[in-house]
């Protein structure tokens, strides 16, 4: 389809948004109104109608899944080489690319490590425990605080001088030490992927000029969930030219807890007075009933921008609310329904999505789906990357590209067993601290022999020698072959078999490790096209791209916690947070109960509005049918608790709901209450 034909399919407002390229543009519109469609069409328009090179265009969004979907949609529009060099990625991947290209300017050495939140926590724990015993809660709080500072672009100095109380002061001091250590390890954390590029572009006019030359047009999806650092990144990259299009929906802002600033929508208008704002009003996704329910629910939140949404899809089926005895019955019900509906409606498995508030809710459902042999895909939860064997393999990869990565060193120095015990490691760590060097470097130092028995020194030496050998082989030839040889040479397979309770488990673990290496290889092959010109110009392209590929793997792990890009025919299980931007013909929303949705923490913190937006996101994923389920009893905090139906059920248009499973029999009087106020009746039964 030509771009003209494609444009003709869009409504006049969408066309206007696609065609407007002279200045900053904001598309502000509700769910399913075609915002993402505007972005994908606009990329094709820029390339095919305006003759802009795809290399000069960067489109960013929030999750890998969304980036992948967007890439696919664009892929069908651009032909042959038209799309080469186009960046369609998450914010964090864009940041990672900038950091990789600007390592020198940033003061990092080649082969830096990307710490995932767990690594970061381990480092923080070490730092905090130097002075006193601290509990896990405290560490989490400090980590969260540091993350928020980074998202707000507040550097340690400022955090210290503005600390309001003792707790903040404590966290700010930890922030400072944490930053220093990360740098010493030649490592960055997840939030640094945005923070470092912003700080660089603010302070280094040459780097700024380089990136402005490189990126001429930016498109941002899900703009309402940008944090301050992300907004500044866009603003810096675009500068005065302000050639960007951002699309968003303030009603779908669901990441405030992670530093997102929906008020960035307002800031945009202030920072760019020439901003063109386009509103879209037609929803192309959902039936009138579903859309009506979503609109009614969200009208309970205050609004800065008034939006109206209508649909031509007809009324469709009523929304069903299914009350179950307990959580197991709820899961059973959902699984059973998917099974029968698939047959009745000739639906495919992939047409169904089950959404929930927290990953823990998926466990029972998984068992039921397995029981009925329904294929499913779980996003989040126990991921490929959180498997032990993958963590080990990743630690090897990280150590290979950055020997100063102490976390990686500690994870695998004795995996497979090399008779290097905790006593040895403790002494080694003390020595490294004294010498202010990494553990790996400390192994090479002569002074170690005074502290450790000869045998221990030899064992450490053998290990570092082994790693150095692999590094040399990687540098001089086929890096992937060197990595494969390494796994064989150290007989990782035997180690897996020794440690698994059954051979089939070991087999699966081994297969996982090879899958990881295959993915790494694939990712390297893709690399030349994706790297910016600045990168490919570097001297050692081979290792450079292994490093790049490894960093990307680590990033993918953090972002999506899911390795397989599995788009086969499966029921999708995901949290409401992860469902943003997606759509499915049949949606089940589980656990519509107080303390679950809205979440207990949100009720306590008085942030129910964000939970309402989350429910709005969930509801608006549905195209044809929507089923809301809840349980009367649920295990929580180790006990069986009575549940109260979610207040959000009260807020939906009651005559559009079809209730099932109300326990009328238990109380004949309640029968009369039916149809008056369904939820009020239900509530009294439940309490
Ligand atoms: P969300 O807020 O959930 O991210 P969105 O505003 O990004 O939604 P899209 O995902 O772009 O909406 O579009 C929703 C659905 O409507 C998609 O299936 C898309 O293909 C379809 N659609 C968008 N625009 C049109 C149009 N002009 N005509 C027909 N279908 C359209
Ligand atoms: Mg979208």
Phi and psi of 244, rounded to 5°? -150, 160
- Pocket flag, ligand 1, residue 214 (CB < 6 Å): no
Considering the domain architecture, whether residues 223 and 360 belong to the same structural domain is answered as no
Q: What is the structure's pLDDT at 227?
A: 92
The pLDDT tens digits of the residues spanning 94-115 come to 999 999 999 999 988 877 888 8
Spatial contact of 281 and 249, defined as CB atoms under 8 Å apart: no
Q: What is the structure's pLDDT at 537?
A: 37
* Residue with the larger pLDDT of the pair 263 and 277: 277
> Please, which pLDDT band fits residue 638 given cuts at 50, 70 and 90?
low
Distance CA 68, CA 350 (A): 17
Query: Domain tally for the chain?
Result: 4
For 493, the 3-state DSSP assignment is helix
Considering the domain architecture, whether residues 96 and 210 belong to the same structural domain is answered as yes
This complex has an ipTM of 0.99
Is 530 part of a structural domain of the chain?
no
30 known member of a binding site: yes
CA of 33 to the centre of ligand 1 (A): 5
The share of the chain scoring above pLDDT 70, in percent, equals 90
Phi and psi of 60, rounded to 5°? -125, 150
- Point out the ligand nearest to the CA of residue 621: 1
Distance CA 465, CA 425 (A): 17
Strand 639-642 relative to strand 622-636: parallel, antiparallel, unpaired?
A: antiparallel
Nearest to 219 by CA among 358, 114, 91, 396: 91
CA of 74 to the centre of ligand 1 (A): 14
Distance CA 375, CA 350 (A): 9
Q: What is the structure's pLDDT at 359?
A: 83
Considering the domain architecture, whether residues 501 and 639 belong to the same structural domain is answered as no
> Please, which pLDDT band fits residue 280 given cuts at 50, 70 and 90?
very high
Distance CA 2, CA 41 (A): 11
Which residues, in sequence order, are CB contacts of 440 under 8 Å at separation 6+?
Answer: 399, 403, 404, 406, 409, 464, 467
> Please, which pLDDT band fits residue 539 given cuts at 50, 70 and 90?
very low
* Residue with the larger pLDDT of the pair 39 and 76: 39
Is 294 part of a structural domain of the chain?
no
Q: What is the structure's pLDDT at 681?
A: 39
The pLDDT tens digits of the residues spanning 37-46 come to 999 999 999 9
Average pLDDT score over the chain: 86
Q: What is the mean pLDDT of residues 359-377?
A: 84
Last residue of a domain, one of 280, 298, 333: 280
pLDDT over threshold 70, residue 595: yes
Distance CA 259, CA 262 (A): 10
Is 300 part of a structural domain of the chain?
no
Q: What is the structure's pLDDT at 384?
A: 62
Considering the domain architecture, whether residues 417 and 488 belong to the same structural domain is answered as yes
> Please, which pLDDT band fits residue 632 given cuts at 50, 70 and 90?
very high
The pLDDT tens digits of the residues spanning 307-341 come to 788 999 999 999 999 999 999 999 999 999 999 99
Considering the domain architecture, whether residues 521 and 458 belong to the same structural domain is answered as yes
Instruction: Identify the H or E element spanning 179.
Output: helix 166-184
Q: What is the structure's pLDDT at 34?
A: 96
CA angle, 47 then 52 then 55, to 5°? 90
pLDDT over threshold 80, residue 463: yes
CA angle, 255 then 231 then 77, to 5°? 90
Which residues, in sequence order, are CB contacts of 477 under 8 Å at separation 6+?
Answer: none
Q: What is the mean pLDDT of residues 367-393?
A: 77
Q: Which residues are catalytic?
A: 35-36, 221-222, 252, 621
- Point out the ligand nearest to the CA of residue 251: 1
Is 191 part of a structural domain of the chain?
no
The pLDDT tens digits of the residues spanning 547-580 come to 888 887 777 666 544 334 455 789 999 999 999 9
Residues flanking ion ligand 2, Cβ below 5 Å: 35-36, 581
Q: What is the structure's pLDDT at 617?
A: 97
Q: What is the structure's pLDDT at 639?
A: 76
Distance CA 274, CA 268 (A): 10
Spatial contact of 616 and 297, defined as CB atoms under 8 Å apart: yes
Considering the domain architecture, whether residues 67 and 17 belong to the same structural domain is answered as yes
Is 196 part of a structural domain of the chain?
no
Q: What is the structure's pLDDT at 546?
A: 83
> Please, which pLDDT band fits residue 118 given cuts at 50, 70 and 90?
confident
Considering the domain architecture, whether residues 553 and 576 belong to the same structural domain is answered as no
285 known member of a binding site: yes
Considering the domain architecture, whether residues 572 and 556 belong to the same structural domain is answered as no
Tell the burial category of 76 from Cβ atoms under 10 Å away from its Cβ (0-12, 13-18, 19+). Answer: exposed
Considering the domain architecture, whether residues 69 and 214 belong to the same structural domain is answered as yes
Q: Domain span at residue 129?
A: 113-185
SS (H, E, C) 40-107: HHHHHHHHHCCCCCHHHEEEEECCHHHHHHHHHHHHHHCCHHHHCCCEEEEHHHHHHHHHHHCHHHHC
The share of the chain scoring above pLDDT 90, in percent, equals 56
Nearest to 392 by CA among 553, 504, 508, 513: 513
Spatial contact of 617 and 580, defined as CB atoms under 8 Å apart: yes
Is 123 part of a structural domain of the chain?
yes
CA of 566 to the centre of ligand 2 (A): 21
The pLDDT tens digits of the residues spanning 153-174 come to 999 999 999 988 999 999 999 9
Considering the domain architecture, whether residues 366 and 254 belong to the same structural domain is answered as no
* Residue with the larger pLDDT of the pair 503 and 172: 172
Considering the domain architecture, whether residues 142 and 227 belong to the same structural domain is answered as no
Is 228 part of a structural domain of the chain?
yes
- Pocket flag, ligand 1, residue 284 (CB < 6 Å): yes
Is 192 part of a structural domain of the chain?
no
Distance CA 329, CA 504 (A): 33
Which residue has the least CA distance to atom 8 on ligand 1?
A: 32
Considering the domain architecture, whether residues 557 and 572 belong to the same structural domain is answered as no
Distance CA 95, CA 116 (A): 15
Q: What is the best residue among 26, 29, 37 to mutate for testing ligand 1's pocket, by most ligand atoms within 8 Å of CB?
A: 37
Rounded CA Rg of the chain: 27
Q: How many helices (H) and strands (E) does the chain have?
A: 33, 18
pLDDT over threshold 90, residue 371: no
CATH code assigned at 591: 3.40.50.300
Spatial contact of 268 and 27, defined as CB atoms under 8 Å apart: no
Residue 338 tokens read as 């998917």
Longest dimension (CA), the chain: 87
- Point out the ligand nearest to the CA of residue 283: 1
CA of 239 to the centre of ligand 1 (A): 30
- Pocket flag, ligand 1, residue 249 (CB < 6 Å): yes
pLDDT over threshold 90, residue 483: yes
Phi and psi of 468, rounded to 5°? -60, -40
Distance CA 513, CA 492 (A): 10
Nearest to 393 by CA among 576, 208, 384: 384
DSSP 318: P
CATH code assigned at 120: 1.10.10.160
Tell the burial category of 9 from Cβ atoms under 10 Å away from its Cβ (0-12, 13-18, 19+). Answer: exposed
Helix boundaries (H) for 275-319: 288-298
pLDDT over threshold 90, residue 304: no
Distance CA 160, CA 254 (A): 29
CA distances, 127 to each of 171, 173, 211 (Å):
11, 10, 36
Last residue of a domain, one of 129, 157, 185: 185
The pLDDT tens digits of the residues spanning 619-629 come to 999 999 999 99
* Ligand 1 atom closest to residue 37's alpha carbon, by position in its atom list: 11
CATH code assigned at 462: 1.10.486.10
Which residue has the least CA distance to atom 24 on ligand 1?
A: 34
Last residue of a domain, one of 136, 159, 185: 185
CA distance between the termini of the chain: 58
Distance CA 404, CA 399 (A): 7
Q: What is the structure's pLDDT at 487?
A: 95
């Amino acid at each position: 389809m030509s771009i003209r034909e494609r444009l003709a399919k869009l409504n006049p407002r969408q066309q206007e948004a696609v065609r407007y390229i002279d200045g900053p543009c904001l598309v502000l519109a509700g769910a399913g109104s075609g915002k993402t469609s505007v972005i994908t069409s606009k990329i094709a328009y820029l390339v095919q109608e305006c003759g802009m090179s795809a290399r000069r265009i960067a489109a960013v969004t929030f999750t890998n899944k969304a980036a992948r979907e967007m890439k696919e949609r664009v892929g069908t529009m651009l032909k042959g080489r038209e799309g080469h060099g186009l960046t369609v990625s998450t914010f964090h991947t864009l940041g990672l690319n900038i950091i990789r290209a600007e390592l020198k300017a940033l003061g990092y050495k080649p082969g830096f490590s990307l710490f995932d939140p767990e690594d970061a926590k381990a480092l923080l724990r070490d730092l905090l425990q130097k002075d006193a015993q601290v509990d896990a809660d405290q560490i989490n709080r400090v980590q969260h605080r540091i993350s928020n500072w980074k998202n707000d672009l507040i550097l340690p100095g400022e955090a210290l001088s503005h600390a309001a109380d003792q707790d903040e002061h404590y966290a700010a001091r930890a922030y400072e030490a944490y930053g220093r250590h990360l740098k010493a390890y030649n490592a960055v954390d997840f939030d640094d992927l945005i923070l470092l590029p912003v700080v660089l572009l603010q302070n280094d006019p040459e780097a700024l000029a380089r990136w402005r030359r490189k990126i001429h047009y930016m498109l941002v999806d899900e703009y309402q969930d940008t944090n301050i650092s992300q907004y500044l990144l866009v603003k810096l990259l675009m500068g005065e030219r302000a050639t960007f299009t951002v699309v968003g929906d303030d009603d779908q802002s669901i990441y405030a807890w992670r530093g997102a600033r929906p008020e960035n929508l307002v800031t945009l208008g202030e920072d760019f007075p020439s901003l063109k704002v386009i509103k879209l009003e037609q929803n192309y996704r959902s039936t009138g009933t579903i859309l009506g329910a979503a609109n009614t629910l969200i009208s309970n939140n205050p609004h800065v921008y008034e939006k109206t949404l209508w649909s031509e899809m007809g009324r469709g089926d009523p929304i069903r609310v299914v009350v179950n005895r307990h959580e197991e019955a709820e899961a059973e019900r959902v699984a059973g329904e998917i099974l029968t509906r698939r047959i009745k409606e000739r639906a495919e498995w992939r047409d169904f999505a089950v959404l929930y508030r927290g990953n823990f809710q998926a466990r029972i459902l998984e068992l039921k789906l397995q029981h009925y042999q329904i294929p499913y895909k779980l996003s989040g939860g126990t991921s490929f990357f959180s498997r032990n064997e993958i963590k080990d393999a990743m630690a090897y990869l990280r150590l290979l590209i950055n020997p100063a990565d102490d976390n990686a060193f500690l994870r695998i120095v004795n995996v497979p067993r090399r008779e290097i015990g905790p006593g040895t490691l403790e002494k080694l760590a003390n020595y490294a601290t004294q010498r202010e060097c990494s553990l790996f470097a400390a192994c090479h130092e002569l002074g170690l022999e005074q502290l450790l028995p000869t045998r221990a020194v030899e064992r450490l030496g053998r290990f570092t020698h082994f790693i150095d050998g692999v590094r040399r082989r990687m540098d001089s030839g086929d890096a992937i072959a060197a990595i494969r040889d390494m796994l064989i040479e150290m007989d990782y397979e035997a180690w897996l078999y020794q440690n698994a309770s059954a051979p089939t488990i070991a087999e699966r673990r081994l297969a996982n490790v090879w899958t990881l290496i295959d993915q790494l290889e694939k990712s390297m092959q893709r690399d030349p096209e994706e790297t910016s010109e600045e990168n490919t110009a570097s001297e050692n392209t081979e290792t450079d791209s292994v490093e790049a590929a490894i960093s990307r793997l680590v990033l993918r792990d953090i972002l999506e916690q899911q390795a397989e890009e599995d788009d086969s025919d499966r029921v999708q299980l995901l949290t409401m947070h992860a469902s943003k931007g997606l759509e499915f013909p049949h949606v089940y929303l589980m656990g519509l109960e107080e303390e679950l949705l809205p979440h207990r923490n949100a009720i306590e913190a008085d942030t129910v509005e964000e939970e309402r937006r989350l429910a709005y996101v969930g509801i608006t994923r549905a195209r044809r049918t929507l089923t809301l389920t809840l349980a009367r009893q649920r295990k929580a905090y180790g006990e069986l608790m009575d549940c109260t139906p979610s207040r959000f059920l009260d807020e939906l248009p009651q005559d559009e709901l079809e209730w099932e499973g109300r326990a009328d029999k238990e109380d004949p009087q309640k029968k009369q209450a039916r149809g008056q106020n369904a939820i009020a009746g239900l509530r009294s039964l439940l309490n």
